[in-house]
Amino acid sequence: QRNHRHYMGEEIESLCLKEIQNFEQQVDTGLKHIRTRKNQLLHESISELQKKGKAIQEQNTTLTKRIKEKEKDKTIPQSSHWEQYVDRDTTFLMPPPHPPLGDYNQVGGGRGDGRSNELDLSLQP
């Protein structure tokens, strides 16, 4: 316990110069070992994180390629599907048909010129 107190900086008044120098050397050596171990752990941690970062970057690259391929696959079938649809059903682009022209007898009156908007739909002998 006495040495522990010395390490804590307590009860060092009773130590002579040689004992204090020896104690200081022991503390320095211990501190070097502690710093070496700390640096080793930090380097291992950094190395592990770099490996994980590289793996994540590779995964990101792979996923980006997959997304681009899927987008490419989506656009090609859609355009060909659209072309098939347009080729198959172009009637929606045609104007509506005109009413058939026929021989209609118009009933007089209405416009003053002898013509009317009414049609005579009665059958004639």
Task: Answer whether residue 73 is part of any domain.
Answer: no
| Total number of domains constituting the chain | 1
Instruction: With beta carbons less than 8 A apart as the criterion, state whether 83 and 90 touch.
Output: no
What are the backbone dihedrals phi and psi of residue 57, each rounded to the nearest 5 degrees, phi first? -65, -40
Separation of alpha carbons 41 and 37, rounded Å: 6
User: What pLDDT score does 4 carry?
Assistant: 81
User: What pLDDT score does 70 carry?
Assistant: 92
Task: Answer whether residue 83 is part of any domain.
Answer: no
Task: Answer whether residue 117 is part of any domain.
Answer: no
The structure's pTM equals 0.47
User: What pLDDT score does 5 carry?
Assistant: 81
Separation of alpha carbons 72 and 65, rounded Å: 10
The parent domain of residue 28 ranges over 2-61
User: What pLDDT score does 51 carry?
Assistant: 98
| 3 state SS of 88 | helix
Task: Answer whether residue 93 is part of any domain.
Answer: no
Contacts 24+ apart (CB under 8 A), 96-101: none
Digitized pLDDT (tens) for each residue of the chain, 125 residues in all: 777 887 788 888 888 999 989 989 999 999 999 999 999 999 999 999 999 999 999 999 999 999 999 998 887 655 555 555 555 555 555 556 666 665 545 444 444 555 555 555 556 55
User: What pLDDT score does 109 carry?
Assistant: 47
Task: Answer whether residue 23 is part of any domain.
Answer: yes
Task: Answer whether residue 29 is part of any domain.
Answer: yes
Task: Answer whether residue 37 is part of any domain.
Answer: yes
**Residue 97 DSSP class:** P
Task: Answer whether residue 68 is part of any domain.
Answer: no
